[in-house]
Amino acid sequence: MSPASLSFQPNADTAQPALVHLLHDAEKRSSVLSLAATEEYIFSGTQCKYISVWDKKTFALTNTLRGHTGSVLALEYAKEKQWLFSSSGDSTVRIWSTASLKPIYVLDPYLETGAGDLFALAWSSNLQTIYIGCQNTSLQWYDFNMLGQVSSPPSSHDELQSPTPGSATPGGSAPRKAHKFFDSYPQYERKPADIFANNGTGGQVHGSSSPVLDGDAPQQGYLSVPASNVIDSAHFGYIYCMALLTTPDGTLHLATGSGDELVKLWSCTPKGPKLVHEFACTHGAVLALIVKDDTIYAGCQDGYVKILDLETKTLVRTIIVQEGVDILSMTLIGSDLYTCSANGWVKRWSASFDCAASWAAHDGIVLSSIATRRNVNDEDFRLVTGGNDSCIKIWEALPSKEKTPRMSSTEITPAFGAEVHTDTLTYALSKFVSIPSISCFPSNREDCRQAAIWLKKCLAQLGAHTALLPTGEEKNPLVLGTFEGTKSERPKLRVLFYGHYDVIPAPPDGWITDPFTLTGRNGCLYGRGVTDDKGPIIAVACAAADLLAQRALEIDLVFLIEGEEECGSTGFGECVRKYKDAIGHIDAILVSNSTWIAEDTPCITYGLRGVVHCALEISSDLPDLHSGIEGGAVQEPMFDMIKLLATLTDNQRRVQIPDFYDRVRPQTSEEEGLYRLLSGITRQPASSLVSRWREPSLTVHTIEISGPKNSTVIPGTVKAQISLRIVPDQDLDTIVQSLCDHLKNSFKGFDSPNKLDINVRHTADWWLGNLDDPWFKALEDSVREEWGMEPLRIREGGSIPSVPWLEKEFRCHALHLPMGQSSDQAHLPNERISLINLNKGRAVVQRFLRTIVERDIPPAT
């Protein structure tokens, strides 16, 4: 099946940036877990407990910072202080001078080793506070403004001395207890640990003949996080990552990501963080966070990146980097996002979420990454990555300035995403069409399931929260996707968009191209399902994604896409009722599953006929017989069937079922005027439109016989398929009962020894929209504004069973926006849709969703 990602793939010849330099300490082969950079140095925190210091100009290893007794999990640079913070699996945070490369402080978290591994750090220069994300799920912080309450803080070039016996530690906390690791004496001395043991934290100059001994190391200040600076159980999982940002209102916020699959947003104040919002990522642990302006990028364990908007508190997009492959680090350079994964690959994503580059960066796992300028005043950045292959690699990484090439609307190569790029709408549609989701063939049941899975991922990448809803055994699932609008004080309107991902069969006879390969020709896209109904589904989804990206979606748009529409929507109603709470309250229903009446004038559909499908079978107790032997001696089932079908209509084709026309709604003068207008446009008699749209009808579809079907056989069984199309205000249940009664009574009058079986297989009610409804007016105005012409109000002779059912179930009005043209060949060979119609359909939906908010249309009651 097609890959799940909607992102265009890069050209392999130009995808990999230049590798500037490789850094590797042969003496200490160890995974590079964390990175930081200053104007002079690159710092790398390793699994082997050291921090390596590399000169940015010469790329030489100039120093090694020692002191941690566990892996160095995070590094954070405080530029204005020239401090480097490092956190470790030894449950300490150490502070180093980036000028002298000497230790300054050791900071113990609250509970000391009980806090576990310290996975994440974030420094606020405004608050002079370091935030610490802990393995024990606590969020802790230390305010360095507290240092002034005891003694002057150290400069970047000096180191604090240890406190005198019995004195308070800097920060005003109680006297520090001896630490069993950092205050221990050599084992041979057999002395208990105390705060004056000073066992350890010198620096070693690379290349020196002897290390700096512990006794020669400068004394350090010891700090402790007070109990008041702790939020226990800040998450229900390890806190793996953090990032600081300022929201549009000027408030400093801290974002935290955890193994509980949540991103939490905290308002940072001098008194500590306060939780203000939670984002559910639902794709495994959040292992990496990065922020830009009012946007959070959250890298997840399952290979997804969730893009979260802070102003609207909504999910605006999902990128599938590679499913099932952890994203361990991310870096932003300009508008480009670099994702680093557990398979060793780095990918570069443009502002439009296209994959602009992809390459195998490390032989193993990419564990860390940062961006750093080439020189102090240089505008160009480099990407630095670290892996478990003990290597640090420096890549040339110029921010993207080019625009993604787009295709001409007059010619599209079938191989979407290969030799060419195209916009997200047609790119996604090409993948959707490639899945032969034919619901009436059992052999395509798995294809239907894969289409549902693909659509679920597609909607998720475009910014929706998605799920599959089971409809029962051997039935195709529903796809539920919710694009959440901006949160506000007043209740949001909720619009349900209904569609179907299943298609009818596409025998190759008559097709110019492969029906399951999207092909562009003369401004149209060809393929099974492009107009019925895959094209409109993707167009509406892209409309929602566009509004999300613009932070302009102010309603909730709920997608409910079924996979059995072409087979009568079996299981649909039961499933919707079962999961009605998950779907939520609905104020209006939007449908796009039909075509215009002509080629050049946009339309709005406001009516559909209902349908009753009925199977008849007349059979004898005898086997198939030879007409030369038994002809005339038996009452043949075929004659009974012919006579029975003949009772259904008269010579003027009027249906003879009793009371059939009694409740048909009379035609109004306004309708007469509309039909005259449409007759002039379509060049069809007005009476033909009336017969097709607003009058009921009966059709005999098939007659089948048993036996070898040659001219000498009397068939023992004869079957027929008939249907009724019903209109306002005929009652569906009454019509079904009248049909069955008429058939039974007529057959009884034949006094035949044969048996009649009647099976009403499928029914759907009629639907008529409210032309005076403010929702309809908003849609009509949106079409008019986008197309620059007055849309035609039309009805359809066909039926969409789910539309009237949804309208009754959710007690709100439905709206029907056709996107295709009359020549789109739905259900026929060479099905197509115009690129202009597809893109304008997307634009109309955007206008409509904006308009209903601007006009303050009241929600359904």
Note the pLDDT of residue 657. 97
Question: Quick check: is 249 catalytic?
Answer: no
Write down the pLDDT at residue 844. 98
Q: What phi, psi does 87 have (nearest 5°)?
A: -120, 160
Beta strands 272-280 and 366-373 are: unpaired
Pick the catalytic residue from 143, 565, 780, 824: 565
419 Cβ contact partners less than 8 Å away, ≥ 6 residues apart: 413
Do 63 and 101 form a contact (C-beta atoms < 8 A)?
yes
pLDDT of residue 402: 43
Q: What is the 3-state secondary structure (H, E, C) of 76-92?
A: EEECCCCEEEEEECCCC
- Give how far Cα 715 sits from Cα of 621, 708, 730, 755, Å: 11, 9, 37, 14
pLDDT number for residue 179:
55
| Token reading at 269 | 């104040």
Residue 378's pLDDT is what?
67
Query: What is the C-alpha to C-alpha distance for residues 156 and 98, in angstroms, rounded to an integer?
Result: 7
pLDDT reported for residue 3: 58
Question: Cα–Cα distance between 337 and 304 in angstroms, integer?
Answer: 13
pLDDT at 294: 84
- Predicted confidence (pLDDT) per residue in 655-673, tens digit: 999 999 999 999 999 889 9
Tell me what pLDDT residue 182 has. 52
Each residue's pLDDT tens digit, 458-509 = 999 999 999 999 998 889 999 999 999 988 777 899 999 999 999 999 999 9
Domains of the chain, start order: 19-229+335-396 (2.130.10.10), 235-320 (2.40.128.630), 414-608+767-854 (3.40.630.10), 610-661+696-763 (3.30.70.360)
Q: Respond yes or no: is residue 565 known to be catalytic.
A: yes
Q: For residues 397 and 387, is the Cβ–Cβ distance under 8 A? A: no
Q: Give how far the C-alpha of residue 387 lies from the chain's centroid of Cα atoms, to the nearest Å.
A: 30
Distance CA 110, CA 119 (A): 15
Percentages (nearest 5) of helix, strand, coil residues in the chain: 20, 35, 45
pLDDT along the chain (861 residues), means of 10: 63 71 83 96 95 93 94 97 97 96 95 93 96 97 77 41 35 48 61 58 35 39 94 96 87 96 96 95 95 93 92 88 95 94 95 89 96 78 95 84 36 33 81 96 93 95 94 92 88 96 95 96 95 97 94 96 93 96 97 93 95 96 84 89 97 94 93 90 88 94 91 93 96 97 97 96 93 95 97 92 94 95 95 96 97 88 54
- Among the options 484, 502, 556, 807, which is catalytic? 502
Task: Supply the Cα-derived Rg of the chain in whole angstroms.
Answer: 35
Burial call 439-456: b when 16+ CB within 10 Å, e when fewer: beeeebbebbbbbbbbbb
**How does pLDDT run across 211-251, given as a tens digit for each residue?**
333 333 344 689 999 999 999 999 999 999 999 998 767 88
Q: Which residue has the tokens 């009724």?
A: 724
Q: What are phi and psi of 285, to 5 degrees?
A: -55, 145
- HSE on the CB side for 290, CA within 13 Å? 20
Q: What is the pTM of this model?
A: 0.79
Contacts of residue 732, Cβ cutoff 8 Å, sequence gap at least 6 = 610, 612, 726, 763, 764, 765, 766
What is the spatial distance between Cα 274 and Cα 668, in angstroms, rounded to a whole number? 63
- The 10s digit of each residue's pLDDT in 388-442 is 999 999 999 866 654 433 333 333 333 333 323 348 899 999 999 999 999 999 9
- Residues near 824 by Cβ (< 8 Å), separated by ≥ 6? 530, 531, 532, 595, 831, 832, 833
